[in-house]
Amino acid sequence: MENFILYEEIGRGSKTVVYKGRRKGTINFVAILCTDKCRRPEITNWVRLTHEIKHKNIVTFHEWYETSNHLWLVVELCTGGSLEMVIAQDENLPEDVVREFGIDLLTGLHHLHQLGILFCDISPRKILLEGPGTLKFSNFSLAKVEGENLEEFFTLVAAEEGGGDSGENVVKKSMKSRVKGSLIYTAPEIVRGTDFSITSDLWSLGCLLYEMFSGKPPFFSECVSELIEKICYEDPLPPIPKDSSCPKASSDFINLLDGLLQKDPQKRLTWADLLQHSFWKDAFARNDQDSSTEDSNVSRNMEYSGSQDATELLKSPQGGQAKGEKSGQRLSHSFRLENPSDLRPKSTLGGQLNESMFLLSSRPTPRTSTAVALSPGDAVTQSSPQKTSPLTKIASGHMSQQDLESRMRELIYTDSDLVITPIIDNPKIMKQPPIKYDPKILHLPAHSVDKLVFLEDQDWNDFLQQVCSQIDSTEKSTGASRAKLNLLCYLCVVAGHREVATRLLHSPLFQLLIQHLRIAPNWDIRAKIARMIGLLASHTSELQENAPVIEAITLLTELIRENFRNSKLKQCLLPTLGELIYLIATEEEKKKHPRECWAVPLAAYTVLMRCLREGEERVVNHMAAKIIENVCTTFSAQAQGFITGEIGPVLWYLFKHSTVDSLRITAISALCRITRHSPTAFQNVIEKVGLTSVINSLASAICKVQQYMLTLFSAMLSCGIHLQRLIQEKDFVSTIIRLLDSPSTSIRAKAFLVLLYILIHNHEMLLLSCQARLVMYIERDSRKTTPGKEQQSGNEYLSRCLDLLIRHMVQELPRILGDILNALANVSGRKHPSTVQAKQLKMCLPLMPVVLHLVTSQVFRPQVVTEEFLFSYGTILSHIKSIDSGETNIDGAVGLMASEEFIKITLSAFEAVIQYPILLKDYCSTVVDYILPPLVSLVQSQNVEWRLFSLRLLSETTSLLVNQEPDDGKEVVNVDSDNNLLALIRDVLLPQYEHILTQPDPVPAYALKLLVAMTEHNPTFTRLVEDSKLIPRIFEVILEHQENILGNTMQSVVALLNNLVACKDSNMKLLYEQGLVRHICSLFTETATLCLDADNKSNNETAAALLFSLLDILHGMLTYTSGVVRLALQAQKSGSGGSTQAAEDLLLLGKPLIDLVSLLIPLPH
């Protein structure tokens, strides 16, 4: 696991410190909370509620860890401080700013309420500001899921941590105080002891808006009892800004606060009223439209009652919490943790609890001017990093194509592709009027649903007998008909309950309803009976084989066929027919084999197909499509009944020619589910309307349609239908890649999946995909995916699709390199390749840019740079050496430009690899044995560009290799590599150096850099430099570059001289003879002058660095001189008769060095 670097402290509470931090090895800054383990319940609560939430107004949770002494929470860094700090600094905010901030607060809080989460402790210190001014909710320590007991959750976490029940009462008592937030913003009903709710959060929101405008909360007192008295019984004063020069509050704002700060929660503004309030100036109008056009994520499990409008339920969390229930169903596993051990922090590497993983930065950084005050809840100040990708290290091991495609098939259809919504009473199809009944004329007890469920058998039978008696009544008066309709309305209402619906469906009443559907003279009664039957079918929890559902289906089919021109009648009967067929299909799927008693008559399918055709009313089309959509979600004989040659084109026609989005979505969704059973359905569409038309529809469609169409293409490709055509269609590939810009996670995931199918069967499309920025898209989404979420979470689904695509691309790279090597090997040594060989070269060499794209990607680089890769790369370089020397000629086969481009990209790929030395650490011998020899040969190239490029790569690679620290147990390997490297440079490169150093810049700079690295690493190399007679040429380089003393070449020369002088085995006499003193004095004088040049400060730092190197050389020279003089004096003193002439001559040569003292004195220390 990677460590974190901690910078300045940006906040502190009683038991928590907040740091600005950075993940080691990245530039991603985060906020890191270090908190005592006694706060485990609060931190666990924070994590479980936010670990799946990604929203612009909610601080993003990244990860958490446990070490020996602390819990560490890594969250988004917000650089703007807290709202509390802003209010304190500005005293009060203008109304326009309050409106802007309020929109952020409402957006974030509304999202939380839709998820079923109550914040419970809204206060300014828990609202943070991102740099651009976006407000974000932070610190969810005291938040909870609506309806749960937070004390119990805290106690559960604490007990689980303690490992037993000891002291349980003590723990429970301590939890009572821990779940309380700031009293100043608490609603009156909470003060009185009721539980938190949506309305209590809205009260706190009103307090926050009031404080932003006036600079102080609406209720405040130092005395707790007095504060409670004010909250419960006093009305707040009108908000007045602290700054009297500021404008007064508008009437809209006062009206808004009045609605939010109502003591009675029943009179308080609801979300619907709040979002539509005039104060916001229609800022939320678009949100309402989006809400009303959402396709039904409303689960089939939601209970429908005739008196409620499902659309309204979706819009408002208070109107029945439908949307919250929807999200709650999806995230309930994450939110409602009955076992806290299900959500545990990560531990450090090897499972050891080690605090050192969070390292304090040794670099001093300024503290923030204002520390963020932390309450016991510890609010945080933080800023948005990009998470490092969980995909950068994918499990190794080769995956066969069969295994790969098997996993891909599992990902084609997701739960979001197979959502079921009701056919009957579906507001997206047709809004039904609410069902009402008059209990006064019911003529039987108007039992509630709850009472009906618990009726004893005898009472239930009596109730049924009364119902059947009234329905079977033959009285034909107007009053009797009205009473019968009223009874049926009552039955429709109670049929919305599962247990009641199940009992009624399997009672004699159901048979009686079928009978009266056939014989009732009044079509109003028939329509109500049909609706009753449909509701029973929709809500029953089981179907027994003796229920006469086939009889009902047959009768409904006959009625529709006999009255086919009566559109209103079809609208009454079709939903019931559909619900019955879907009920049979689901039951048959559960039992896993067909029942003869449930065989749907063919006439029913025929009638439904007729209802799909052109010319029918939109509502009838929609109902028929919805029936097919639901039934074909199941694997049953009933679904097979819809699979015909015309079903695909008919649904496509509906999709293309409808102007209503809900019908278009239903039609394409039905086609998607039909294709799950028979991919030829979509094949028939393509063959009839043309692939181009389908691709254009994909490109221009809304998100939900794009999701279904991508599923259709995946399903078809998985079966090999139209495979060759699709994988060769560049427009298709380009369209799919453009969808990677979609804001929808599901669409991007499915686009990756379709691309994977294409790349498996046509690896040439990998080049087109890379050129269209596929790798960039992969890197972006790799950062967004996080492990450990539920399967149907969008990020987890995206992660799985990306995982397979990355695996395939990683496995594809060796095949691409192998094809290139085979093509080059076939023409090796040939001046005129054959036609077949030329064709092979044209196919394979253009794929080399794929290699460059992958090795420059942080996702792919660690996985593709292996020993096999480096070996293959070195072999390609050997072929390039052969091409460069003229032994092999491919220009005639691929063209001169293509040949040069191939060489350039090959060299660039290795340049990208050496930017990350850690990748080469384990493969030093492979690099030395297979890559460096052809690079050394290319240094002699006649092509100036390749010569320079190769020398630069050689120089940088050598520097990396000689500076690698050997791992334990690898010393022998490293010694062999060093010896091979030394021999290569000595035998092949050094003989060319005299010529290389005469070439124009920057060739000498790279050549000298290589010598610097070698002499620094291996002192014996100094002797090789001297033996190669390069010393005179090195001093000539100094003379040639003395006008650019701060250039790279001169810096490399000085570094080389420093190494030579510092080496004990160096031939100093040779250096002195070549004018070492003169050159050093000249360089010293010019460098010191530059250091003292106040008008040119940009060069001072470079000049200073060069001067330090010259001082090192000077120190080495003086050390050598003192040694020679000391030996001469010792010889003279001992009377051994040694000559002092050599020492005197050396002192005389070094005399000019004394003059350098005057240059050193004025230099700053």
The 10s digit of each residue's pLDDT in 16-30 is 889 888 877 666 788
Distances (CA, A) of 929 to 516, 872, 976, 980: 92, 12, 10, 7
Nearest 5 degrees, angle CA 1032-CA 1038-CA 1041?
Answer: 140
Helix (H, G, I), strand (E, B) or coil at 148: coil
Determine the distance from the C-alpha atom of residue 556 to the mean position of all C-alpha atoms in its chain, rounded to a whole number.
Answer: 50
Percent of the chain at pLDDT exceeding 90: 45
Angle between helices 745-761 and 401-412 (to 10 degrees): 150
The pLDDT value recorded for residue 1137 is: 60
The pLDDT value recorded for residue 141 is: 92
Mean predicted confidence (pLDDT) in 999-1027: 86
CB 634 within 8 A of CB 585: yes
Mean predicted confidence (pLDDT) in 569-584: 95
Q: What is the rounded CA–CA span in Å between residue 1003 and residue 1010?
A: 11
pLDDT in tens, 640-698: 999 998 999 999 999 999 999 999 999 999 999 999 999 999 999 999 999 999 999 99
Strand residues in 122-209 grouped as ranges (E): 127-129, 135-137, 144-145
Question: How sure is the predictor about 967, in pLDDT bands with cuts at 50, 70 and 90?
Answer: low
The pLDDT value recorded for residue 350 is: 42
Owner of token pair 């799919």: 736
573, pLDDT greater than 90: yes
The mean pLDDT value of the chain amounts to 83
Select the more confidently predicted residue: 186 or 390: 186
Q: What is the rounded CA–CA span in Å between residue 525 and residue 532?
A: 10
323, pLDDT greater than 60: no
CB 389 within 8 A of CB 27: no
Helix (H, G, I), strand (E, B) or coil at 958: helix
Q: Where are the domains of the chain?
A: 82-342, 421-632
Select the more confidently predicted residue: 58 or 439: 58
854, pLDDT greater than 80: yes
Tokens of 1035: 């001093």
549, pLDDT greater than 90: yes
Question: How sure is the predictor about 1136, in pLDDT bands with cuts at 50, 70 and 90?
Answer: low
Helix (H, G, I), strand (E, B) or coil at 419: coil
Mean predicted confidence (pLDDT) in 1127-1140: 76
328, pLDDT greater than 60: no
Q: Which of 259, 190, 178 is nearest to 231 (CA)?
A: 190
**Which runs of consecutive H residues, i.e. helices, occur in 785-916?**
794-827, 835-844, 848-855, 861-864, 867-885, 891-894, 896-913
Residues ≥6 apart with Cβ < 8 Å to 28? 22, 385, 386, 387, 388
Question: How sure is the predictor about 360, in pLDDT bands with cuts at 50, 70 and 90?
Answer: low
CA-based R_g, the chain, Å: 40
The pLDDT value recorded for residue 965 is: 65
Mean predicted confidence (pLDDT) in 827-834: 88
Determine the distance from the C-alpha atom of residue 812 to the mean position of all C-alpha atoms in its chain, rounded to a whole number.
Answer: 24
pLDDT in tens, 1030-1063: 888 888 888 888 888 888 888 888 888 988 888 8
Question: How sure is the predictor about 172, in pLDDT bands with cuts at 50, 70 and 90?
Answer: low
Q: Which residues pair with 21 in a beta bridge?
A: 6, 30
Mean predicted confidence (pLDDT) in 146-160: 84
Q: What is the rounded CA–CA span in Å between residue 364 and residue 140?
A: 32
734, pLDDT greater than 60: yes
Helix (H, G, I), strand (E, B) or coil at 267: coil
Fold of 421-632: Leucine-rich Repeat Variant (1.25.10)
Strand-pair category, 144-145 with 117-118: antiparallel
Q: Which of 619, 684, 677 is nearest to 651 (CA)?
A: 684
Backbone angles phi, psi at 794, to 5 degrees: -60, -40
Tokens of 347: 């531990």
Residue 417 designated active-site: no
Catalytic, out of 36, 104, 121, 378: 121
Q: What is the rounded CA–CA span in Å between residue 1161 and residue 1145?
A: 27
* Range picked from 202-211, 399-408, 474-483 for highest mean pLDDT: 202-211
Mean predicted confidence (pLDDT) in 951-958: 90
Report the predicted TM-score, pTM, of the whole model to 2 decimal places.
Answer: 0.63
The pLDDT value recorded for residue 176 is: 65
Burial 501-521 (b: 16+ CB within 10 A, else e): bbbbbbbebbebbbbbbeebe
Total residue length of the chain = 1165
The pLDDT value recorded for residue 1095 is: 67
| Amino acid letter, 332 | S
The pLDDT value recorded for residue 325 is: 37
Determine the distance from the C-alpha atom of residue 1140 to the mean position of all C-alpha atoms in its chain, rounded to a whole number.
Answer: 78
Q: Which of 261, 323, 256 is nearest to 288 (CA)?
A: 323
CATH of 82-342, one of 3.30.930.10, 3.30.460.20, 2.40.50.100, 1.10.510.10: 1.10.510.10
Determine the distance from the C-alpha atom of residue 904 to the mean position of all C-alpha atoms in its chain, rounded to a whole number.
Answer: 34
82-342 shares its CATH topology with 421-632: no
738, pLDDT greater than 80: yes
The pLDDT value recorded for residue 785 is: 65
Pick from 73-77, 888-892, 968-972: least confident: 968-972
1143, pLDDT greater than 70: yes
CB atoms within 10 A of CB 61: 21
Question: How sure is the predictor about 1161, in pLDDT bands with cuts at 50, 70 and 90?
Answer: confident
Q: Which residues pair with 864 in a beta bridge?
A: none
Distances (CA, A) of 767 to 676, 755, 893: 31, 12, 20
Burial 25-57 (b: 16+ CB within 10 A, else e): ebebbbbbbbbeeebbbbbbbbbbbbbbbeeeb
Distances (CA, A) of 1017 to 298, 1010, 1059, 1068: 70, 11, 10, 19
